[in-house]
Amino acid sequence: MMSINRFTSGRLPVLLRKSSFYYPRAYLHQTDVFKQNKEALQDSPEVLAKSSHLNSKPLDVSNKAPIKTAQNKIPLAHSKYESSKYELPKWKEALGELVIRAFRLDMDRVRAGPVAGSYYYKICKEQGLQYEDEPLSETAKYFYEDLKLPRTFSQWFQITILHEWMLFVRMRGMPFKYGRNYQQKLVDRTFSDIELRLFEEMKVNSGRIADQYLKDFNTQLRGAIFAYDEGFATDDATLATAVWRNLFGGRKNIDMVHLESVVRYIYSQLYVLSRLSDREFATGKFKFVSPGVKVEKLTPKQEEELKTKTVAKYEALDKDPKTLPSERSRLSYTN
């Protein structure tokens, strides 16, 4: 099994082969930390997964659950306010800023809902999301085609859990009262969306049956989080075992190259997350790195340059009298 070093402090320095990241308008992140590296693609998780010569086949999914077509797919939430295309009327925006200022609201708690419960859940959900009349995304191709995972609702849930766990790891690094709030908002949105999908996509017509499914998904979530935590706290073999039991369903004749690829993918994401300051992460300045991209550790000089630039940016933002109350934060940008 490969050995991957863990990095758990600092900002967001990565050298990437390519970057085609999209951020919702409300959390647009303009930064130059994603630098070009023409040699970075050769050892990416995706390339590693494709390098396997074993005849590994996915599970029999001939009796797969129905998937709603893209034309009729349900939104993340029924609230128009969480759409990236929605623009708040100027009078409502001014009123909101006045309320925040007058009551001295803690925006680091307020924004947990839209950031963790909406944006971060959205990017976790999309990693394995697929519809019958839509082509797979790059990340979905990695999971369903390269790793040969079955295209089922349960498998999508396991892919979502994996990505949520990686965010949980970073959330635990935040001050406790904020990190706990972010985790709770992410979990709440996960199960409210799953309930919605059960009724509208999976055509479950019984509330009792839906409750049973939700209890089962809750058990899966808790078990997977515990297993991934144990693996991350011990060694790569234990983490790979957790991936095998949960993501691969513990099936026989698993391709070890695929397991290694997922472990590499996990550590790539965790490295990027570890480089985000609390303020950057809490305001939605993160996007999962594509499996086709290799994440490389920056040199100490590059890290110092990036840290200096980031500190200067937020110091100027905090001192600027034109900075809106909703844009302010008490969280650190130097950690």
- Does the residue 7 lie in any domain? no
Cα(303)–Cα(13) distance, integer angstroms:
6
CA 57 to chain centre: 27
Cα(87)–Cα(110) distance, integer angstroms:
19
Most confident of 159-163, 293-297, 331-335: 159-163
| Average pLDDT, integer, range 237-257 | 93
Query: In DSSP terms, which residues pair with 3 in a beta bridge?
Result: none
- Does the residue 323 lie in any domain? yes
Report whether 215 contacts 191 (CB < 8 A): no
Report whether 312 contacts 140 (CB < 8 A): no
How many other C-beta atoms can be found within 10 angstroms of the C-beta atom of residue 26? Answer: 19
| Average pLDDT, integer, range 200-207 | 83
pLDDT at 264: 94
- Does the residue 146 lie in any domain? yes
At residue 184, φ and ψ (nearest 5 deg) are -65, -40
- Does the residue 4 lie in any domain? no
At residue 174, φ and ψ (nearest 5 deg) are -80, 165
Tell me the chain's radius of gyration from C-alpha atoms.
20
Q: Is the pLDDT of residue 165 over 50?
A: yes
pLDDT at 57: 58
Cα(134)–Cα(219) distance, integer angstroms:
31
Closest by CA position to 189, among listed 75, 77, 26:
77
Q: Is the pLDDT of residue 10 over 80?
A: no
Question: Mind listing the pLDDT tens digit for each residue in 286-317?
Answer: 999 999 988 888 889 988 988 889 899 999 99
| Average pLDDT, integer, range 231-256 | 93
Helices 207-233 and 236-246, packing angle to 10 deg: 170
At 327, the amino acid letter reads E
Domains contained in the chain, number = 1
Give Cβ neighbours of residue 126 (< 8 Å, ≥ 6 apart).
137, 139
pLDDT at 84: 62
Helices (H) and strands (E) in the chain, counts: 13, 2
Report whether 164 contacts 123 (CB < 8 A): no
- Does the residue 100 lie in any domain? yes
Cα(271)–Cα(285) distance, integer angstroms:
14
The residue written with tokens 């009298």 in the block is 321
pLDDT at 134: 82
- Does the residue 332 lie in any domain? no
Tell me the CA distances in angstroms from 211 to 117, 126, 196, 312, one per residue in order.
21, 24, 12, 50
Q: Is the pLDDT of residue 246 over 90?
A: yes
Give the length of the chain: 335
At 195, the amino acid letter reads E
C-alpha triplet 174, 323, 272: angle, nearest 5°: 35
Tell which wins on pLDDT, 79 or 40: 79
Cα(227)–Cα(241) distance, integer angstroms:
9
Cα(110)–Cα(260) distance, integer angstroms:
39
Cα(287)–Cα(140) distance, integer angstroms:
15
- Does the residue 8 lie in any domain? no
| Average pLDDT, integer, range 263-283 | 93
Closest by CA position to 228, among listed 289, 156, 276, 167:
167
Closest by CA position to 145, among listed 161, 128, 158:
128
Boundaries of domain holding 124 = 14-327
- Does the residue 123 lie in any domain? yes
What the block records as the tokens of 110 is 């307020």
Cα(135)–Cα(147) distance, integer angstroms:
17
